[in-house]
Amino acid sequence: MRLLNYCCIIAGGALMMACKPALQTGAAYFENFTYEGNDAIYADNPLPGKDAVYNPILPGWYSDPSMCTNGEGDYYLVTSTFSYFPGVPIFHSRDLVNWKQIGNVLDRPSQLVGLDRQHISGGIFAPDIKYNPANKTYYMITTNVGAGNFVVKTKDPAGPWSDPILLPQVQGIDPSLFFDEDGKAYIVNNDDAPDGKPEYDGHRTIRIVEYDTENDCTVGERKIIINKGVDPSKKPIWIEGPHLYKIGGKYYLMAAEGGTGDMHSEVIFRSDSPMEGYEPWGKNPILTQRHLPADRTDPVTCAGHADILQTPEGDWWAVFLGCRPNRKGFENLGRETFMMPVRWSEDGFPIITEGDETVPVVVRHPGTSAGDNPTFGNFKTTDEFDGNALGMEWMTLRGPADDLYSFDKGNLVLKCSEKSATQYETPSLVLRRIQHHVFSASTKMRFTPTGEEAAGLLLFKDERHQYFLKVCLVGGEKAVVVEKIGAEPSVLGTVFLKDTSSPVELFINSKDGLSFNFLCATSGKEPEPVAQEADASYLSTAVAGGFTGTTVGPYAIK
């Protein structure tokens, strides 16, 4: 039986016993974790109180959004997770404004085979969610870069979802499903150039194949329906992320084009048949920000990879990804989920933006207002770790890591593991997204290093771009250290702790999105700097590359 430390308190003449966990050697005890965002853009653009929503609706790294409706007023939305676990968060809404995460589609290792060997920007690409009214079943189709394309399905979007149904005939990435009115189903996705012989870098195709929903397999010939993109003479790159719709008796194929950077866009094609004859709209793209001046106010870049649906009231809405760079042109938030209304051209094509229209900070959405806990705007949240499971905002790398963390009397306990966040492994690390340029993250931790162990807060972009605010031994003395981790690692600052028995409070903040500040405190004293103004661009996509954003959370290693 584990021994407990007891703190005796005299209150009202009675002896009260407040229990604290006995510290295990080689483990760190995190009493809490607080995240707060405070971007000025929200204060500068207050919501009118109703009929409006902030963009992005899911701030921070929520990329490649897809949504569906069951036609009864329920909406569901999913996004990519790459090599994080669990995979594919799923959100529910009744009004397209107030979203609540209800689970994760891929929440078991059996659904994520091979994730443990992949780079952080590998794993799960571009999930697509659809509802099939014919069998009242929800489907999610996606790519696991290490295992191929697959489908999972369920009657209840909150889960559980099935184990993967593999689709070996569907090569490439970014598959999506379409259920036609006649009961047939189709898969469209991005694939190689014809015969695997690209004419230029970025030459891709969109292909289609019929899908048998009774036997969960593809049937018949798989055909190329788009080669290169809207205008093949201009050598368009990376036609991808396709979605197929039937609207007014016509088939519409919508896809991203131009790559995932500043040239990103969304384009549209139309046909009388699902399997052939797609013609591009003459006024493509239907969504982009690539031609707008870089010095515009509150820029949104990289807009594309969209999905659309119609509400029971007849309105059309789109979700899509975009980035919000800071004044120096980089960002640490990753690709975020935005929403805008869809309007229709006189010749019957959907439009999200046209001309010099910008993606707005505030979107008008009549008849709705933000609830008590919106996903957007500024907010503060604290996890007291007083349950027996991680909240839905937390993620681990490549696997559940449930052998490395536990809960003990209001503490998240992380074992110090030899597996590092620099490896393609599952370290002793739990992370949440950074969702604001101006933010703070903090924790109170009990940890007694005896050798090479270290524990604290990690800012994580990928295996080669990290900042670690850690408690460790330096020359045999307990200290707080800031380490820059990567190809050229360095120590940015050290504070030796005079009080070695009290909990240590650790703080990370950014005041402008351009740099990070690291602080520590003990015994209720004012925080003191460990390292100031560390370059935030080091964790940006502009420097590090990849498809994810920056995450932060407790970490323990030996």
- In this structure, what token pair is assigned to residue 67? 């949504």
CA-nearest of 308, 296, 264 to 360 is 296
What percent of the chain lies above the pLDDT cut of 90?
Answer: 93
Task: Give just the sign of the alpha carbon dihedral 175, 143, 233, 353.
Answer: positive
pLDDT at 24: 85
Token pair listed for 121: 């920007």
**149, 143 in Cβ contact below 8 A?**
yes
The secondary structure element, H or E, covering residue 40 is helix 40-44
Of the options 2.60.120.200, 3.10.20.590, 1.10.260.40, 2.102.10.10, the CATH number for the domain spanning 25-37+378-557? 2.60.120.200
> Is the torsion defined by CA of 53, 541, 85, 379 positive or negative?
negative
Residue 22: per-residue pLDDT: 77
Question: Is pLDDT at 18 greater than 80 in this prediction?
Answer: no
pLDDT digits (tens, 9 = 90+) for 398-437: 999 999 999 999 999 999 999 999 999 999 999 999 999 9
Q: What are the sequence ranges of the domains in the chain?
A: 25-37+378-557, 48-364
Q: Give the distance, in angstroms, between the CA of residue 150 and the centroid of all CA atoms in the same chain.
A: 20
pLDDT at 11 over 70: no
Rounded average pLDDT over 263-273:
98
How is residue 161 annotated by DSSP?
P
Nearest to 394 by CA among 84, 77, 95, 159: 84
Helix, strand, or coil here: 232?
Answer: helix
How much of the chain, in percent, has pLDDT values that exceed 70? Answer: 97
pLDDT at residue 461, rounded to an integer: 98
Residue 236 has pLDDT above 80, yes or no: yes
Hey, what amino acid is at 502?
Answer: S
Tell me the pLDDT tens digit for each residue of 484-507.
999 999 999 999 999 999 999 999
DSSP secondary structure of 343-377: EE-TTS-EES--TT----SEEE-TT----SS-SSS
Amino acid at 391: G
At 19 the pLDDT is 60
Q: Which two tokens stand for residue 409?
A: 């009397």
How many whole angstroms separate alpha carbon 245 and alpha carbon 186?
Answer: 11
Given 31, 64, 336, 462, the catalytic residue: 64
Q: What is the pLDDT of residue 29?
A: 98
**Over the stretch 183-212, which tens digit does the pLDDT of each residue have?**
999 999 999 999 999 999 999 999 999 999
SS (H, E, C) 456-509: EEEEEEECCEEEEEEEEEECCEEEEEEEEEECCCEEEEEEECCCCCCCEEEEEE
| 74 flagged as catalytic | no
Angle formed at CA 340 by CA 335 and CA 341, multiple of 5 degrees: 155
Token couple for 113: 């085979």
> pLDDT tens digit string along 314-331?
999 999 999 999 999 999
- Nearest partner of 447 among 24, 19, 20, judged by Cα: 24
Q: Residue 206's beta-bridge partner residues? A: 190, 226
How much is the pLDDT for 416? 98
Which amino acid belongs to residue 325? P
Beta carbons of 269 and 251 less than 8 angstroms apart: no
- The C-alpha atoms of residue 176 and residue 129 are separated, in whole angstroms, by 8
- Whole-angstrom CA distances from 427 to 25, 132, 225, 397, 550 are 18, 39, 43, 7, 17
Residue 121: band (very low, low, confident or very high) from pLDDT cuts 50, 70, 90: very high
Q: Residue 104's Cα: distance from chain center in Å? A: 12
Compute the CA torsion angle 211, 215, 217, 223 (nearest 10 deg): -30
Q: Tell me, what's the pLDDT at 6? A: 33
For the residues 517-530, what does the mean pLDDT come to? 95
Is 383 one of the annotated active-site residues of the chain?
no
For residue 10, what pLDDT is reported?
Answer: 36
Compute the distance between CA of residue 304 and CA of residue 242 in angstroms, rounded to an integer: 11
CA distance 504 to 522: 5
Q: Which among 31, 107, 191, 240 is annotated as catalytic?
A: 240
Nearest alpha carbon to residue 107 among 163, 183, 180: 163
Q: Tokens representing 370?
A: 């933000």
pLDDT at 2 over 70: no
Residue closest to 96 by CA, chosen among 134, 138, 127, 65:
65
Q: What are the residues facing 17 on neighbouring strands?
A: 8
The residue-averaged pLDDT of 237-254 equals 98
Tell me which residue of 553, 551, 538, 499 sits closest to 521, measured CA to CA.
499
Judge whether residue 3 has pLDDT over 70. no
Q: How far apart are the first and last CA of the chain?
A: 26
Give the whole-angstrom CA distance, residue 340 versus residue 359: 8
Q: What is the pLDDT of residue 284?
A: 98
Measured between alpha carbons, how far is 486 from 489 in angstroms, rounded to an integer?
5
Measured distance CA(430)–CA(444) in Å, rounded = 15
Q: What's the token pair of residue 244?
A: 């197929």
Residue pair 397/421 in contact by the 8 Å Cβ criterion = yes
Residue 19 corresponds to which tokens in the numbers above?
């229990």
Under 8 Å between Cβ of 125 and 174: yes
Q: Is 137 exposed, middle or buried (0-12, 13-18, 19+ CB in 10 A)?
A: middle
**Architecture of the structural domain at 48-364:** 5 Propeller (2.115)
Q: Answer for the pair 512, 527: CB distance below 8 angstroms, yes or no.
A: no
